[in-house]
């Protein structure tokens, strides 16, 4: 993957340093993080989210032509830490009331986790896709989702060496399924790539980064934040649980929408696989991982709910923004490059 285009002073500082165009000025970047002159909140801040996303990507597949040593460069890590501090604080603010309510509610932990999507709910992109979306809108949806689904499940894998016993066994059982259970063609990321190709879209990892808005990057950055910090392992597992628990029923609607639009079977196959897979995974994630993790260490309960609430909250934000764009006749992407007339 190539380095993305910068979106402001923070991302410019990071991208130019990685690309070897300019020396990294840590103090200036740290000052920028705290002294941002714009009033755009962190989740919607393109410059902020892109800078963080680029630094996180160094821990996954990295960038073409970028020295792999940057992954653990202390100067870059210091900038990342500042961004992460602001991002985590914003996520905690946004979810605090829901987390506190879920902690105080009656019922066992997995039942309260299963109930959380009812409390943090928004307009359904899946319903819109089922009934109303145009082919172009559905392709935009795939572009947003490609940022995550082309590395599907990877952020949760960071947690494996950080937990023990039953939750560890359950997490590996879940991940083994996500990674195709020994069949490379059934790797969920590979199935998604096949779906993109069948629709005539680019399946290369990171191909659409320049087109996705801040909120799509924020969805991904939250997973990397939780995955890369052992301190946040319970949030990572809460996030995984909420993601799985809000997948089967929407995936059924996506399949209906795909069939209504007459799109290729390969893309339907990806969502169809998730109807059954995630009906299993939600049980594993919420009962055998999250509930067991808290049984082992009750101090992790708040962060399990925090992670779950962040997953649901950011999904609501992304859904609202996408639907708002489509319903007012706009693209939800940063540049309307999917529209051939706009390019011509």
Partner 1 sequence: MRITRTVPEPFAVSSRDVEVTACPNGPLLVRGADLVRDSEGRAHPVTRPVVAVCACDKSQRMPWCDGTHKVIPKNR
Q: Which residues bind partner 1 (CB under 8 A)?
A: 111, 114, 173, 176-177, 181, 247-249, 252, 275-280, 282-284, 287
Closer residue to partner 1, CB minimum distance, 94 or 287: 287
Q: How far is the CB of 49 from partner 1 (least distance, A)?
A: 31
CB of 264 to partner 1, least distance (A): 21
Residue with tokens 């059924």: 252
Per-residue burial over 279-305, b = 16 or more CB atoms within 10 Å of its CB, e = otherwise: eebbbbbbbbbbbbbbeeeeebbbbbb
Query: Least CB distance from residue 284 to partner 1, whole Å?
Result: 7
DSSP-derived letter for residue 4 is P
Tell me, rounded to whole angstroms, the distance of Cα 315 from its chain centroid: 9
Beta carbon nearer to partner 1, 157 or 248: 248
Minimum separation from the CB atom of position 275 to partner 1 (A): 5
19 vs 117, which CB is nearer to partner 1?
117
Inter-axis angle of helices 26-34 and 74-104, to 10 degrees? 30
Cα–Cα distance for residue pair 263/245, rounded to 1 Å: 26
**Tokens in use for 245?**
């628990």
Complex with partner 1: residue 14 or 284, whichever CB lies closer: 284
Alpha-carbon distance values, 316 to 142, 256, 268, 274 (Å): 17, 21, 23, 20
Which residues contact residue 77 at a Cβ distance below 8 angstroms, ignoring those fewer than 6 apart? none
How many whole angstroms separate alpha carbon 312 and alpha carbon 308? 6
Nearer of residues 5 and 181 to partner 1, judged by Cβ: 181
In this complex, which beta carbon is closest to partner 1, that of residue 186 or of residue 321?
186
CB of 258 to partner 1, least distance (A): 16
Burial of 275 (0-12, 13-18, 19+ CB in 10 A): middle
Q: How far apart are CA 193 and CA 69, in angstroms?
A: 29
- Give the number of other Cβ atoms within 10 Å of residue 272's Cβ: 17
Specify the residue, 236 or 277, whose C-beta has the smaller distance to partner 1. Answer: 277
Nearest CB to partner 1, comparing residues 23 and 111: 111
The Cα 237–Cα 220 span in angstroms is 15
How many residues are recorded in the chain? 344
Smallest distance from partner 1 to CB 56, Å:
29
């Amino acid at each position: 993957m190539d380095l993305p285009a910068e979106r402001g002073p923070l991302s410019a500082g990071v991208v130019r340093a990685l690309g070897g165009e300019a020396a990294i000025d840590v103090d200036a970047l740290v000052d920028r993080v705290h002294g941002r002159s714009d009033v755009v909140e962190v989740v919607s801040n393109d410059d902020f989210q892109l800078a963080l996303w680029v630094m996180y990507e160094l821990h996954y597949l990295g960038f073409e032509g970028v020295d792999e040593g940057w992954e653990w460069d202390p100067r870059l890590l210091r900038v990342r830490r500042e961004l992460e501090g602001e991002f985590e604080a914003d996520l905690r603010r946004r979810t605090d009331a829901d987390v506190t309510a879920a902690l105080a509610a009656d019922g066992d932990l997995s039942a309260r986790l299963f109930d959380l999507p009812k409390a943090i709910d928004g307009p359904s992109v899946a319903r819109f896709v089922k009934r109303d979306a145009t082919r172009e809108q559905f392709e935009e949806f795939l572009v947003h989702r490609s940022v995550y689904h082309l590395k599907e499940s990877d952020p949760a894998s960071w947690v494996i060496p950080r937990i023990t016993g039953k939750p560890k066994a359950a997490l590996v059982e879940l991940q083994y399924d996500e990674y195709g259970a020994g069949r490379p063609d059934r790797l969920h990321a590979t199935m998604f790539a096949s779906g993109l190709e069948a629709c005539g879209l680019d399946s290369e990892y990171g191909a659409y980064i320049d087109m996705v808005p801040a909120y799509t990057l924020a969805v991904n950055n939250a997973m990397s934040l939780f995955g890369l910090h052992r301190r946040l392992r319970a949030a990572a597992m809460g996030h995984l649980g909420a993601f799985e628990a809000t997948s089967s029923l929407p995936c059924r609607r996506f399949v209906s929408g795909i069939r209504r639009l007459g799109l290729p079977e390969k893309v339907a196959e990806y969502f169809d696989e998730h109807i059954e897979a995630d009906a299993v995974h939600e049980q594993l994630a919420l009962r055998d991982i999250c509930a067991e993790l808290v049984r082992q260490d009750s101090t992790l309960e708040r962060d399990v709910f925090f992670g779950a609430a962040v997953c649901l909250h950011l999904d609501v934000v992304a859904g609202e923004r996408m639907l708002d764009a489509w319903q007012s006749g706009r693209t939800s992407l940063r540049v309307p490059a999917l529209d051939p007339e706009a390019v011509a």
